[in-house]
Amino acid sequence: MTMSKIMDVKKNVVMFLKENINCYDVTVVKIEKVNEIWNTIAEVYEDDSFLKAMNMPPKQVRLFYSVKMDDTLEVTSFERLNSFEGADAAE
């Protein structure tokens, strides 16, 4: 596993999330390769949809997404997570 491959995974995750969800900042906080699948977790800031629906001033909320890619870096699945263990460990 080369460093450039990890950087390509990170770049693809950021690009995929920015193109597919309405978000501002995307930070990849975990990259792990299991067999031929890349498992990643990204921290994302996006507008609070409840406040937006109520026509109130927008507030950004922090969310986490899991993105999985195959060895050719094609996204095979992604989902929003309820939480991410260890998310606040560095704070």
Domains in the chain (CATH in brackets) are 3-81 (3.10.450)
Q: Phi and psi at residue 7, in whole multiples of 5°? A: -65, -35
Tell me what pLDDT residue 2 has.
63
| pTM (two decimals) | 0.81
Phi first, then psi: what are they for 8, rounded to 5°? -65, -40
User: Which DSSP symbol is given to 90?
Assistant: T
Calpha distance 13→37 (Å, rounded): 13
Q: How confident is the prediction along the chain (91 residues), in pLDDT tens digits per residue? A: 567 899 999 999 999 999 999 887 899 999 999 999 999 999 999 888 788 788 888 788 899 999 999 999 999 999 999 887 755 544 3
89: Cα separation from own chain's centroid: 18
Q: Whose structure tokens read 């900042």? A: 25
